[in-house]
């Protein structure tokens, strides 16, 4: 059983850190501050090895108003920063990567314009580009998690493998930010069907759930994105996950 990488999430809307429940950004996170750069520095100080950033303005309205801020995050920490939200063409991808982003997570574009996505994948390579698998009721959702497609996650994931994707970020939207437990069955099934590298996201409520993800690492789940549970200090001792991880940024 391999070690898993725990990746704190910073969700940004209008330059502020927000709480996200079931894919919908809501109240500013008053309990732990609303400055994304400060939050990134805190996670780095607490020995995070990677940070996941979601740009909700770019995702919902293709606004780059948070890009300067995201660039500041990249400059403020010396660890990889991955970013998702609203990448709609190869110029967007280049601009985001020029900010210092280590890996882009792309979702809607793959369905809206697969040819453009393949251009991005070919130019920057599969280590720089991951695909988002956002799922609600066993269907892929896109466009800021607001549009439900007819695609099932297994069939869609198989197709992504065929076009050259190597890593998937798998999120059950119904569990996102709820701390009701992870839908590991979804991530495990995709991992087993595709053999791709899987980052699980959504539903983690504390250490017991983290252990379940750890046990699922044998299926190919090598990392987990955690937001609310970390911010709300739901782990008895958050030093549990502050262990150096090697070889997971590929």
Catalytic residues: 11, 134
The closest alpha carbon to 4, from 241, 204, 250, belongs to 241
Long-range contacts of 234-238 (CB under 8 A, 24+ apart): 234/179, 234/205, 234/206, 235/206, 235/207, 235/210, 236/206, 236/207, 238/46
The sign of the CA dihedral 156, 87, 53, 4 is positive
Is residue 136 within 8 Å of residue 97, measured between CB atoms? no
Percent helix / strand / coil, the chain, rounded to 5? 40, 25, 35
Burial of 143 (0-12, 13-18, 19+ CB in 10 A): middle
Is residue 127 within 8 Å of residue 105, measured between CB atoms? no
What is the distance between the alpha carbons of residues 42 and 40, in angstroms, rounded to a whole number?
5
The closest alpha carbon to 132, from 150, 108, 151, belongs to 108
The closest alpha carbon to 85, from 69, 68, 101, 62, belongs to 62
Give, for 52, the enclosing helix (H) or strand (E). strand 51-55
């Amino acid at each position: 059983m391999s070690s898993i990488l725990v990746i704190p999430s910073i969700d940004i809307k209008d330059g502020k850190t927000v709480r996200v429940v079931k894919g919908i950004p809501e109240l500013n996170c008053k309990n732990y501050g609303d400055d994304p750069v400060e939050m990134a520095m805190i996670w780095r100080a607490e020995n995070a090895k990677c940070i996941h950033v979601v740009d909700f303005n770019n995702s919902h309205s293709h606004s780059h108003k948070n890009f300067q801020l995201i660039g500041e995050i990249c400059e403020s920490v010396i660890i990889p920063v991955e970013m998702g939200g609203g990448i709609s063409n190869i110029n967007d991808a280049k601009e985001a990567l020029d900010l210092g982003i280590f890996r882009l997570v792309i979702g809607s574009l793959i369905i809206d314009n697969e040819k453009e996505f393949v251009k991005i994948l070919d130019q920057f390579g599969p280590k720089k580009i991951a695909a988002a698998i956002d799922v609600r009721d066993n269907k892929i959702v896109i466009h800021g998690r607001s549009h439900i497609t007819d695609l099932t996650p297994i069939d869609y994931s198989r197709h992504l493998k065929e076009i050259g994707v190597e890593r998937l970020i798998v999120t059950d939207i119904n569990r996102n930010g709820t701390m009701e437990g992870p839908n590991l069955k979804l991530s495990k099934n995709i991992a087993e069907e595709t053999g791709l590298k899987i980052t699980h996201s959504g539903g983690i409520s504390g250490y017991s759930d983290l252990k379940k993800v750890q046990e699922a690492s044998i299926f190919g789940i090598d990392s987990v994105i955690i937001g609310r549970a970390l911010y709300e200090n739901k782990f008895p001792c958050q030093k549990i996950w502050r262990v150096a991880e090697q070889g997971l940024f590929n």
